[in-house]
Amino acid sequence: MTGSKSAAAEAFELTNELLADLELDRISLSSAAMKAARLARLTSDAVHLKVFEYELSGYPYSPDGVPTDVWQLCVAAGRVYEEEQGEAEAKKIVERANTDSIDRMEASVETAQLQLEFSRPQPVSVSSANPNQFVSAPVRNLQTENNAATGFRNAKAKLASRRSFIYSFVLAKHFELRVSSAAEDIFDAYRTNVDELLGRIVPNELRTLDSITDNIRSDNPEDWANAAHSCRRLLQGLADEIYPPQEGKVKSKSGKEIKAGEGNYINRLVLFCEDKMASNTSQEILSADLKFIGERLDSVFSGVQKGSHSDIEKSEAQRFVIHTYLAVGDILQLSDEQSNSKSENASHEAQSSVVGDVKE
């Protein structure tokens, strides 16, 4: 689970690179659009991924116009503009969309620039061998020059709007990812510690953790339910290791009698926390969190068992994973502290025994 760069970290690096590309004009706009498509893919932004696909290939249309779904993408990309149609009092405003690909726009700018340069008057030297002959310079075609200049400005404006759109998209992603990257770095540090404790205390559950990761990355709703089920198995495995099932009821520190059988894995984890945590406040918070997670996971598991594939959104499954991981980390830390304490006590007892033998 460690060692590989996350999609969020890769996407954040890409935003920095792409912003510099645009600001310093290091690459063509079509190349920038290709990178922006990759950014949309890394951030699972399906709408903008489709937008950039059409930015590169051109937006599809027919003699009847642009299809409704494609029109919505044109709106999202800022390609829709208003145009006057008709004459005099019959004039009306209609909305149109520019469907040209960025490649075509770049080619149009190059062509318009060549036309503008060609239409401008070229420096010439006009003279005659006859000193009595007056020779005038070539007549300028101002209409042609104006049309070429207007064409060049319009082509540049269309391309500039694409640059602005890509830049705004990348900049927004940059700020989003900067926040999420900081949170991810914090969680990664926590995860490294938890993974080490899992490998030491309950190594068999590392496979369960891998299963959770694979399922939560899927786009299949059934896999999200499976991720929740794997969270349940992880908590069960941890409970079996640190607080094995007991017959009957167990009296907690609060004086309540609680079932601690095989199926009461949350109760067993709560009992373990009560025994090991010095702070009542911390113990109550972790116990409440465990009970909430356990009840919801059991509900999902019950739905799966009945064949209903209990409805669960991906965001909810992700919350289960995060809450479970944090709870497991806290419990493993308690277990590790207990083990260290026992080791230190055993070491002290051994040293005391040796000292006693020497005195005798």
The tens digit of pLDDT for each residue in 81-98 reads 988 877 767 778 889 999
* 37 and 167 belong to one structural domain: yes
Most distant pair of Cα atoms in the chain: their distance: 139
Look at residue 216 in the predicted model and tell me its pLDDT. 83
In-domain check, residue 348: no
* 249 and 287 belong to one structural domain: yes
| Residue pLDDT, tens place only, 220-263 | 888 888 888 888 888 888 888 888 998 888 887 777 888 888 88
In-domain check, residue 310: yes
Residue 172's H or E segment, with its range, is helix 142-201
Alpha-carbon distance of 177 to 43, in angstroms, equals: 9
In-domain check, residue 290: yes
- Domain count along the chain: 2
Task: Specify the length of the chain in residues.
Answer: 360
Alpha-carbon distance of 55 to 33, in angstroms, equals: 7
* 160 and 268 belong to one structural domain: no
Joined together, the tokens standing for residue 303 give 């739905």
Distances (CA, A) of 137 to 84, 123, 124, 131, 144: 41, 10, 8, 16, 17
In sequence order, the 6+-apart residues with CB closer than 8 A to the CB of 15 are 39, 170, 171, 173, 174, 177
Residue 85's H or E segment, with its range, is strand 80-85
Look at residue 327 in the predicted model and tell me its pLDDT. 82
* 27 and 164 belong to one structural domain: yes
Give Cα 99 distance to the centre of its chain: 29
In-domain check, residue 223: yes
* 158 and 272 belong to one structural domain: no
Give Cα 250 distance to the centre of its chain: 45
Q: Taking Cα atoms as reference points, which of 208, 314, 216 lies closest to residue 7?
A: 216
* 63 and 32 belong to one structural domain: yes
pLDDT along the chain (360 residues), means of 10: 63 94 94 96 93 96 92 95 78 89 94 84 60 62 82 92 96 88 71 81 79 83 84 86 87 81 86 73 69 72 53 80 82 70 48 48
Look at residue 280 in the predicted model and tell me its pLDDT. 61
In-domain check, residue 209: yes
Look at residue 124 in the predicted model and tell me its pLDDT. 56
Supply angle C-alpha 23, 25, 31, rounded to 5.
110
| Residue pLDDT, tens place only, 136-156 | 656 667 788 888 889 899 999
* 177 and 208 belong to one structural domain: no
In-domain check, residue 214: yes
Look at residue 156 in the predicted model and tell me its pLDDT. 93
In-domain check, residue 197: no
Look at residue 311 in the predicted model and tell me its pLDDT. 66
* 110 and 225 belong to one structural domain: no
pTM of the model: 0.57
- Identify the bridge partners of residue 83 per DSSP, sorted by sequence position: 94
In-domain check, residue 191: no
* 13 and 53 belong to one structural domain: yes
Alpha-carbon distance of 163 to 150, in angstroms, equals: 20
* 154 and 256 belong to one structural domain: no
Cβ–Cβ under 8 Å, residues 162 and 102: yes
Contacts of range 2-8, beta carbons closer than 8 Å, 24 or more positions apart? 2/188, 2/191, 2/192, 2/195, 6/184, 6/188, 7/42, 7/43, 8/42, 8/43, 8/177, 8/180, 8/181, 8/184
* 38 and 174 belong to one structural domain: yes
251: left (phi over 0), alpha (psi -120 to 50) or beta: beta
Q: Taking Cα atoms as reference points, which of 62, 66, 92 lies closest to residue 79?
A: 66
Look at residue 295 in the predicted model and tell me its pLDDT. 75
The SS3 assignment for 337 reads: helix
Look at residue 128 in the predicted model and tell me its pLDDT. 57
* 162 and 293 belong to one structural domain: no
Give Cα 274 distance to the centre of its chain: 38
Residue 311 sits in which domain range? Answer: 202-338
Alpha-carbon distance of 303 to 342, in angstroms, equals: 42
